[in-house]
């Protein structure tokens, strides 16, 4: 849960550092430049693709049943499409059946206990969740759970106390009467928190120091929403690590998506990863628009966790907003994906950027498939496809085609064509290897079809656009030089026959 989710839940609004978009004026000189290829973290399949298996307001009731049953029923479909991992929404009890998971009430209630007026979570029951995971694992698909560790909400009772001469009456007592001591006897009280937000936009009651001072121009700060867990105290650190290990075993998890980590004491994030992650995969949501801030966070976490490439998302959003007027050379060596390829999870949109009214609402509306062509053919980064893009926005067939190209051809040395690219035309290639033929990916945000001569890695070759967006074939000479066309406002991936 990040700033956008917090707005939806508690009306918080914070500002991020704004990246300047490219314009049509600049000229980028240079020749084809090789891009370093590196592998991603442990537990990630070669050329793997993750799906974010939910969106902000997934229906509580679906044709297949609950959301867990939807995901389970599509396990074979995910496998056929080429997905190698699914990121699940927060699986534990929120404040009501309507809670999307980020308003956490009981992290040990996975849809098993009658609490907050329901046994099931928004997504279903524990049995349905375990059945879905079994189905996904049966198709060889890894499962990553969304770990919300910053806060709790919807307390069972108020507590009154005095701190530094000030009287407080706040909702901070979590005793879990519906679960009792099953799985954990730990109860939460005011002294386990630094402060709490009592209602949307009603400010904060604070009685302990926040766990860290704001940084990144105040873009990172402790208090996000609800009752903010005090990780300066060993008891909460131990309990949250115990919970991490418990849920890993309970659900046979292959990895984690850590929520809102820029609002959590960084030393504890590192401690948790050291105690829980092992050789599994982890990606953290540290929502920094500024690339330097994201790189600094990668340094502070010591490479323990991948990070979502937030700056790259905003690059795509600038391309979308430009809708043909943005300079496509802004895609060269873009984002965290190129500056730290081993730790980057690239994405186009997610539940927050797609959530109308949220603080992070920044959808890539125009030219979205150009963004997907970019992340799915790239040497660096671990791509994450948004469920709503694939299904609800009917981009699944095009994304599936790109994923098949990725699996068959996206290998070998990568090249940026800085001397070829212009304001509308962007080219990128993979040279292939001993068993894979490579590819040439072309993007065009302009209103007319374009063709450019490029010295490619493919000598004396005949190539076909495997996306089907451009018909016919093209040929290259003995030096690899050929003319690579692309339709208006479209993309092509040319592959040697």
Instruction: Render pLDDT for 330-367 as a digit per residue (tens, 0 to 9).
Output: 999 999 999 999 999 999 999 999 999 999 999 999 99
For a pLDDT cut of 90, what percent of the chain falls above it?
89
- In a shared domain, residues 268 and 130: yes
User: What is residue 457's DSSP assignment?
Assistant: S
Of 33-42, 230-239, 384-393, 418-427, the poorest mean pLDDT is in 33-42
- 106 has a pLDDT exceeding 70: yes
Determine the pLDDT at residue 30: 36
Q: What average pLDDT does the segment 391-414 reach?
A: 98
- In a shared domain, residues 294 and 438: no
Q: What average pLDDT does the segment 118-131 reach?
A: 98
Cross-strand partners of 206: 195
What's the pLDDT band for 35 if we cut at 50, 70, 90? low
Determine the pLDDT at residue 40: 43
Assess if residue 164 is contained within a domain.
no
Cross-strand partners of 220: 215
What's the pLDDT band for 28 if we cut at 50, 70, 90? very low
CATH number of the domain that 471 lies in? 2.60.40.1180
Which residue intervals of 222-265 are DSSP H helices?
Answer: 234-251
Assess if residue 94 is contained within a domain.
yes
- In a shared domain, residues 291 and 382: yes
- In a shared domain, residues 396 and 435: no
Instruction: Render pLDDT for 158-207 as a digit per residue (tens, 0 to 9).
Output: 999 999 999 999 999 999 999 999 999 999 999 999 999 977 667 899 99
Number of domains within the chain: 2
For a pLDDT cut of 70, what percent of the chain falls above it?
91
Cβ(335)–Cβ(344) under 8 Å? yes
- 121 has a pLDDT exceeding 50: yes
Of 1-10, 325-334, 337-346, the poorest mean pLDDT is in 1-10
- 25 has a pLDDT exceeding 70: no
The verdict on whether 228 is a catalytic residue reads no
Q: What average pLDDT does the segment 98-120 reach?
A: 98
pLDDT: which is higher, 15 or 466: 466
Residues 285, 338, 422, 424: which is the catalytic one?
285
The CA-atom distances, in angstroms, between 61 and each of 5, 97, 169, 393 are 22, 11, 38, 20
Cβ(4)–Cβ(360) under 8 Å? yes
The tokens for 341 are 């390829």
CATH number of the domain that 109 lies in? 3.20.20.80
Assess if residue 449 is contained within a domain.
yes
Tell me which residue of 410, 391, 358 sits closest to 35, measured CA to CA: 410
Dist. CA 497–CA 486, nearest whole Å = 18
The verdict on whether 233 is a catalytic residue reads no
Q: What are phi and psi of 414, to 5 degrees?
A: -100, 145
- In a shared domain, residues 341 and 405: yes
Task: Choose one of 359, 378, 409: the last residue of a domain.
Answer: 409
Instruction: Render pLDDT for 132-152 as a digit per residue (tens, 0 to 9).
Output: 999 999 999 999 999 999 999
- In a shared domain, residues 439 and 488: yes
- 11 has a pLDDT exceeding 90: no
Determine the pLDDT at residue 1: 58
Of 20-24, 194-198, 432-436, the poorest mean pLDDT is in 20-24
Residues 112, 259, 293, 422: which is the catalytic one?
259
- 17 has a pLDDT exceeding 70: no
What's the pLDDT band for 42 if we cut at 50, 70, 90? low
List the domain range (segments joined by +) for residue 454. Answer: 414-496
- 12 has a pLDDT exceeding 50: no
């Amino acid at each position: 849960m990040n700033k956008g989710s917090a707005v939806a839940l508690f009306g918080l609004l914070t500002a991020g550092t704004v990246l300047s978009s490219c314009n049509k004026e600049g000229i980028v000189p240079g020749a084809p430049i090789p891009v370093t290829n590196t592998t991603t973290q442990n537990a990630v399949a070669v050329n793997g693709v993750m799906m974010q298996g939910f969106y902000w307001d997934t229906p509580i009731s679906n044709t297949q049943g609950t959301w867990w049953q939807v995901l389970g029923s599509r396990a074979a479909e995910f496998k056929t499409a080429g997905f190698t991992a699914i990121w699940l929404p927060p699986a534990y009890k929120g404040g009501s059946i309507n809670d999307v998971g980020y308003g956490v009430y009981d992290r040990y209630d996975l849809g098993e206990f009658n609490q907050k007026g329901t046994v099931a979570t928004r997504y279903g029951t524990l049995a349905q969740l375990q059945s879905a995971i079994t189905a996904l694992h049966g198709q060889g698909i890894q499962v990553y759970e969304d770990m919300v560790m910053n806060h709790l909400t919807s307390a069972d009772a108020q507590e009154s106390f005095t701190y530094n001469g000030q009287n407080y009456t706040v909702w901070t007592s979590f005793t879990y009467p519906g679960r009792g001591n099953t799985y954990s006897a730990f109860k939460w009280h005011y002294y386990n928190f630094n402060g709490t937000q009592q209602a949307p936009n009603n400010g904060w009651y604070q009685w302990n120091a926040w766990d860290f001072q704001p940084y990144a121009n105040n873009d990172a700060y402790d208090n996000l929403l609800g009752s903010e867990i005090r990780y300066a105290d060993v008891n909460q650190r131990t309990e949250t690590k115990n919970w991490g290990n418990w849920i890993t075993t309970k659900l046979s998890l292959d990895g984690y998506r850590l929520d809102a980590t820029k609002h959590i004491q960084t030393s504890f994030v590192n401690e948790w990863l050291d105690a829980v992650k092992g050789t599994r995969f982890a990606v953290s949501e540290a929502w920094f628009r500024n690339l330097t801030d994201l790189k600094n966070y990668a340094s502070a976490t010591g490479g323990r966790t991948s990070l979502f490439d937030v700056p790259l998302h905003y690059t795509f959003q600038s391309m979308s907003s430009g809708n043909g007027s943005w300079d496509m050379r802004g895609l060269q060596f873009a984002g965290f994906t190129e500056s730290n390829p081993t730790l980057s999870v690239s994405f186009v949109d997610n539940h927050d950027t797609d959530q109308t009214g949220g603080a992070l609402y920044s959808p890539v509306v125009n030219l979205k498939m150009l963004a997907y062509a970019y992340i799915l053919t790239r040497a660096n980064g671990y791509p994450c496809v948004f469920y709503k893009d694939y299904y609800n926005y009917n981009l699944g067939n095009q994304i599936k085609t790109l994923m098949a190209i990725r699996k068959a051809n996206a290998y070998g040395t990568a090249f940026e064509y800085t001397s070829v690219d212009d304001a509308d035309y962007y080219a990128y290639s993979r040279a292939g290897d001993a068993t894979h033929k490579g590819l040439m990916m072309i993007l065009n945000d302009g209103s007319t079809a374009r063709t450019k001569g490029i010295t490619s890695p493919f000598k004396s070759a005949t190539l076909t656009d495997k996306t089907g967006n451009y018909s016919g074939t093209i040929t290259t000479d003995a030096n690899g030089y050929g003319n690579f066309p692309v339709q208006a406002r479209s993309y092509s991936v040319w592959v040697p026959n």
